[in-house]
Chain A
Amino acid sequence: MSSPEDRPRSPYDRRTTVIARTVTRLVVPITLMTAVALLLQGHNLPGGGFIGGVLTVAAFVLVYVIFGVEYLVDTVNASGDRLVGAYRALFAFGLAVALVSGLVPMVLGGEFLTQAVFFIHDLPLYSELEVATALAFDLGVYLTVVGALLVIIAEVGYE
């Protein structure tokens, strides 16, 4: 890990152009927003946890490629190992969310992974909101995919 003293003049230079870096700064937030939108709208429109997850990872990969591994590490002020640890925790948590979302219906007397749809009426703006419990499961899928792929990319990227 580079310490402040032996860093190059422009720490995240990595032979990438100003254009690439500027575009990345603009694109990454949009990509992440799109990914979350894909996750949330997946039940009714194209999208879903898996696609949203992979797109999120693609945004991270863009950061990795353009700014380098050190940028992320320095930004979150953690060591690379801790970062991978966080990714690992992410997919473990995702699996747990998916599993628990399957177990809850069993407690309520249903079968494993039974999904239900609730309709909430009389809300301001929305008037009627459709809430699918499948969203919880999809969130688990999303987190697992993001965590697992990031672990793989971070580990391979370090090489």
Chain B
Amino acid sequence: MVLSWLSKTPKSDLPLDVLVTPPLVTTLAVVLLPFAGAVLAPFAVRFAGERAGYYAAAVALVCLALVARLASFGEAGRGTVAVEWLPSLDVVLALHVDGLALLIAFLASGVGVLVFTYSAGYMHDEPGLAKYYATLLAFMGSMLGVALAGDLIALFVFWELTSVSSFLLIGHYTDTASSVSAARKSLVITVAGGLFMLVGFLLLGWTAGVSGEQTYVISALVERAPEIREALDGAGLFLPTLALVAVGAATKSAQVPAHIWLPDAMEAPTPVSAFLHSATMVKAGVYLVGRLRPLFLPESLPHVGNWTLLLAALGLLTMSVTAILAVQAVDIKELLAYSTASHLGLIVAGFGFAEAAGAEAGAFHVLNHAAFKAALFLVAGIVAHEAGTRRIENLRGLRHDMPVTAAVATVACLSMAGIPPFSGFYSKEFLFDAAYETAHAVGGAAWMFPAVAVFGSVFTFVYSAKFAMLFWGKKPDALGHVHRPPLAMLAPAVALGGLVLAITAAPQAFVDAIVGPAYSATVPGDAHGFSIPALKLSPPLVMSAVTVGTGAVVYQAYDRLHDGLREVLTAQPRLRANIWYDGAMATLPWLSRWVTPAVQTGLLRSYAASVVGATAVLALLGYAAAGVALPVPTSVGAGLTGAMAVVVVVAVVAAVGVLDAPSHVAGVLTLSVLGSMLAILYVLVDAPDLALTQLVVETLVLVLFLLVLHRLPAFYGDADRGRVVRDGALAVVVGAAVSVTVLVSTAASPNGALARYLSERAGLPTDHGSVLVDWGGGGNAVNVILVDFRGIDTLGEISVVAMAALAVLTLIRMRDRGETP
């Protein structure tokens, strides 16, 4: 069943009664196809070997075509579609198509095509190709899921799936310790952040429920943004919710101080770094910021509200700190990793500003950064592959051996540095504009915004220049012969370089086609038109000029700056966020050494006590919480015959006798007397089936007890008073819980209707043909209930019996094999 919501799209010129909705099948196919491709990837690797990269590229190409088809519907194809998922819990799988979703989906599938092609060349002679392609395809599906998720819960699920696939890809070389620890670091940080985000999402859903209908559908939440903000404010939850969601975005997008996982993640094969850790996965965080911007940001500006204070400040801080760290990097991939964090900071800051120019900066830089940074990563992979080193100090003058790669790198670096008229210049101009306008309107401390933006950009210029200079100047003799890259590796890099040039040449065309709709999706209320301003003397242009000028001067002292920064960081290790992470990780084993012996005593009786006690207490608390009245049996004496009274008295005597039994064997035998008396009682109240079962089971249990007992010590020693009291209390609580349960569950007798139905239906009807289906056709109603009316219950019960046997088998056999830790 398909539901659809009427989604109000900004700038929509459609009449409101037209149901705007993207085609469900296409939208679902975009998300599900890569997962199907991932399942088939091992077969592709078996048949095609290293050429399986082209198979994966083909899957990505189909996804790209589907995304293009979704985009081709224009305004009519925007909105939310949903498939029922768990109708009983009101959970739906909602997919949402709008400009922002399409931008990210284009990046995920488009860069995917290039990266898979590149992998076919790069992953030559590498181990684990099946795992590699399957995980990478699954990642692409998860990323498309993040982009198209129309529901916060679905978004969270896909979000964590990207974290998991990133973990597997970073840890691709499972034999390398650094690779394993990097994978773990990324998982710990991003998944922990994701959990914060989930709490934020739940608060949002709950708030929506307070002010109206509960929902997790993003478009429905955004439509009701003002009332939800009001409800959040009323509950004092606005800032906590915003902060929780921001923690999720910041960890995913490597914002300070969670940026530390990104440089380590460079342990992954370079195509993975290009795909996950520059173009797509790390964009999930900024995507979330953009996605929820219209929800948290009021339509009428206070120039600096909570949103701006939190996100613009965080973004600008990250942008500056990681740009400085990029200058001290010694490895080209490390430089690119810090630079990625820095540019993500720029995007977060852009979305953080309330100004329209800020959103323009954010949306445009998502595209620009993906293009130039993915190109640079592919270039870095080519350099490492062909020159055999990634050390910055060893690399120079590579243009002689790889002219095409040098051209791509130069174009990409010019864009990254924000040199006019290259593409990165425009998005940086919008950021400067937003920072300047905010400062101009607010004044005072807000002037820090443009100042920090320029400060960070200076370092961006410096490391961009350094990266470009790898290809220029004189080639050092130590470098030796450098091969030309194979076409499969060169072509994707050239394609991305070409994309940078295309955006540079016609920025307005790209804005109109892709960036503009993405921008309007991040704006609360109606978005104004988005156009690239003509180059004229304005405050942002002056800021750019200052950046480039200062950067050019600072670059002259690059070596001194690089060494100086490294010295400071070595002398003051506390400045590195890593030290805090390592400390926290070292605390965990210490904590486990302290907690584990307290919980895992290794004594069966303490486990039994906690399990039984907890069950009993929870049951009693449950009755108390539900306000169950304790039914008082009124007719105790009715139907009690003399024989029954005798049996009950013997049972009680046996029960008391168990407590005073001189040995285990005597205790078990006395207990068995109690059980047999119960069986006789069943006979007396006309329940022969129960009596039979009780007798046989009693016999079996007795034998089992006796088998086990001769292994136990005959005498445990005198119990101390404390233990007697504790065990006695536990026994009383468990006994009370069972008694109350029996009283409560037998009190509600459905006045015989059920029994009448069962006893009528169980037997044979007086007139019958040769086949009966509706009737049990058995004289024994109990058994008919077991095998017919409640047959599925019985199936479940015998499965449990079988599982118990398997558990015993495994436990005993495992102990023999010494597999216990």
The answer to whether B780 and A152 have CB atoms under 8 Å apart is no
Closest Cβ–Cβ distance, residue B697 to chain A (whole Å): 6
Q: Give Cα distance in the complex from A87 to B5, angstroms.
A: 57
- A interface residues, Cβ below 8 angstroms from B: 38, 42-51, 54-55, 57-58, 61, 65, 84, 88, 91-92, 94-95, 98-99, 102, 110, 112-121, 130, 132, 134, 137-138, 140-141, 144-145, 147-149, 151-153, 155-159
Number of A-B residue pairs with CB-CB distance less than 8 Å in the complex they form: 159
What chain A residues lie within 8 Å of B804 (beta carbons)? 148, 152
Q: Knowing A95-B799, A151-B809 touch, does A132 contact B778 (C-beta < 8 A)?
A: yes
The answer to whether B794 and A141 have CB atoms under 8 Å apart is yes
The answer to whether B771 and A117 have CB atoms under 8 Å apart is yes
Q: Knowing A58-B696, A148-B802 touch, does A117 contact B808 (C-beta < 8 A)?
A: no
The answer to whether B801 and A48 have CB atoms under 8 Å apart is no
The listed residue (A45, A54, A91, A130) touching B805 by CB distance below 8 A is A91
Q: Give Cα distance in the complex from A118 to B692, angstroms.
A: 28
What chain A residues lie within 8 Å of B805 (beta carbons)? 88, 91, 147-149, 151-152
The answer to whether A115 and B788 have CB atoms under 8 Å apart is yes
The answer to whether A55 and B696 have CB atoms under 8 Å apart is yes
The answer to whether B770 and A119 have CB atoms under 8 Å apart is yes
Q: Give Cα distance in the complex from A147 to B795, angstroms.
A: 15
The answer to whether B787 and A49 have CB atoms under 8 Å apart is yes
Check: B708 CB closer than 8 A to any chain A CB: yes
Chain A: which residue is nearest B775 at the CB level? A117
Give B433-460 interface residues, CB cut-off 8 Å to A: none
The answer to whether B700 and A149 have CB atoms under 8 Å apart is yes
Q: Give Cα distance in the complex from A44 to B798, angstroms.
A: 22
What chain A residues lie within 8 Å of B689 (beta carbons)? 46-48, 51
What chain B residues lie within 8 Å of A84 (beta carbons)? 809
Q: Give Cα distance in the complex from A95 to B804, angstroms.
A: 14
Check: B3 CB closer than 8 A to any chain A CB: no
Q: Give Cα distance in the complex from A100 to B784, angstroms.
A: 19
The answer to whether A141 and B779 have CB atoms under 8 Å apart is no
**Nearest 9 A/B pairs, CB to CB:** A117-B777, A44-B779, A148-B805, A43-B778, A46-B688, A113-B791, A134-B787, A117-B772, A151-B805
The answer to whether A141 and B787 have CB atoms under 8 Å apart is yes
Q: Give Cα distance in the complex from A61 to B805, angstroms.
A: 16
Check: B636 CB closer than 8 A to any chain A CB: no
The answer to whether B778 and A159 have CB atoms under 8 Å apart is no
Q: Give Cα distance in the complex from A51 to B791, angstroms.
A: 16
The listed residue (A92, A114, A155) touching B812 by CB distance below 8 A is A155
Q: Give Cα distance in the complex from A61 to B696, angstroms.
A: 12
Q: Give Cα distance in the complex from A132 to B771, angstroms.
A: 10
A51-B696, A65-B703 given; 6 more Cβ-contact pairs under 8 Å: A47-B689, A48-B782, A51-B693, A138-B787, A156-B704, A159-B711
What chain A residues lie within 8 Å of B787 (beta carbons)? 43, 48-49, 115, 134, 137-138, 141
The answer to whether A51 and B768 have CB atoms under 8 Å apart is no
The answer to whether B809 and A145 have CB atoms under 8 Å apart is no
The answer to whether B801 and A148 have CB atoms under 8 Å apart is yes
What chain B residues lie within 8 Å of A91 (beta carbons)? 801-802, 805
The listed residue (B700, B770, B794) touching A121 by CB distance below 8 A is B770
Check: B783 CB closer than 8 A to any chain A CB: yes
The answer to whether A54 and B696 have CB atoms under 8 Å apart is yes
Q: Give Cα distance in the complex from A19 to B795, angstroms.
A: 41
Give B718-754 interface residues, CB cut-off 8 Å to A: none
What chain B residues lie within 8 Å of A51 (beta carbons)? 689, 692-693, 696
The answer to whether A145 and B798 have CB atoms under 8 Å apart is yes
Q: Which of A55, A57, A88, A117 has the most CB of B within 10 A?
A: A117
Closest Cβ–Cβ distance, residue B785 to chain A (whole Å): 10
The answer to whether A47 and B783 have CB atoms under 8 Å apart is yes
Secondary structure call for the B interface: helix
The listed residue (A45, A132, A155) touching B777 by CB distance below 8 A is A132
Closest Cβ–Cβ distance, residue B53 to chain A (whole Å): 43
Q: Knowing A102-B795, A116-B772, A132-B777 touch, does A153 contact B786 (C-beta < 8 A)?
A: no
What chain B residues lie within 8 Å of A155 (beta carbons)? 808-809, 812-813
Check: B540 CB closer than 8 A to any chain A CB: no
Give B253-277 interface residues, CB cut-off 8 Å to A: none
Q: Give Cα distance in the complex from A2 to B768, angstroms.
A: 61
Query: Could you list some 19 contacts between A and B, CB below 8 A?
Result: A43-B778, A43-B784, A48-B783, A54-B696, A61-B703, A94-B798, A95-B802, A110-B773, A112-B792, A113-B791, A117-B775, A119-B770, A119-B771, A121-B770, A137-B794, A147-B805, A153-B704, A156-B704, A156-B812
Q: Give Cα distance in the complex from A49 to B795, angstroms.
A: 12
What chain B residues lie within 8 Å of A120 (beta carbons)? 770
The answer to whether B798 and A140 have CB atoms under 8 Å apart is yes
Q: Which of B711, B769, B791 has the most CB of A within 10 A?
A: B791
The listed residue (A44, A112, A141, A144) touching B778 by CB distance below 8 A is A44
Chain A: which residue is nearest B687 at the CB level? A46
Chain A: which residue is nearest B786 at the CB level? A48
Chain B: which residue is nearest A118 at the CB level? B771
Closest Cβ–Cβ distance, residue A30 to chain B (whole Å): 14
Check: B707 CB closer than 8 A to any chain A CB: yes
Chain A: which residue is nearest B700 at the CB level? A58
What chain A residues lie within 8 Å of B799 (beta carbons)? 95
Q: Give Cα distance in the complex from A95 to B791, angstroms.
A: 13
Closest Cβ–Cβ distance, residue B693 to chain A (whole Å): 5
Q: Give Cα distance in the complex from A113 to B796, angstroms.
A: 12
The answer to whether B773 and A114 have CB atoms under 8 Å apart is yes
Check: B516 CB closer than 8 A to any chain A CB: no
What chain B residues lie within 8 Å of A140 (beta carbons)? 798
The answer to whether B771 and A134 have CB atoms under 8 Å apart is no
Q: Knowing A91-B802, A148-B802 touch, does A42 contact B704 (C-beta < 8 A)?
A: no
Q: Give Cα distance in the complex from A143 to B362, angstroms.
A: 67
Check: B699 CB closer than 8 A to any chain A CB: yes
What chain B residues lie within 8 Å of A98 (beta carbons)? 794-795, 798
Contact with A along B673-692 (1 / 0, CB 8 A): 00000000000000011001
Closest Cβ–Cβ distance, residue B796 to chain A (whole Å): 11
Q: Give Cα distance in the complex from A121 to B771, angstroms.
A: 12
The listed residue (A46, A119, A130) touching B692 by CB distance below 8 A is A46
Contact with A along B220-246 (1 / 0, CB 8 A): 000000000000000000000000000
Closest Cβ–Cβ distance, residue B551 to chain A (whole Å): 72
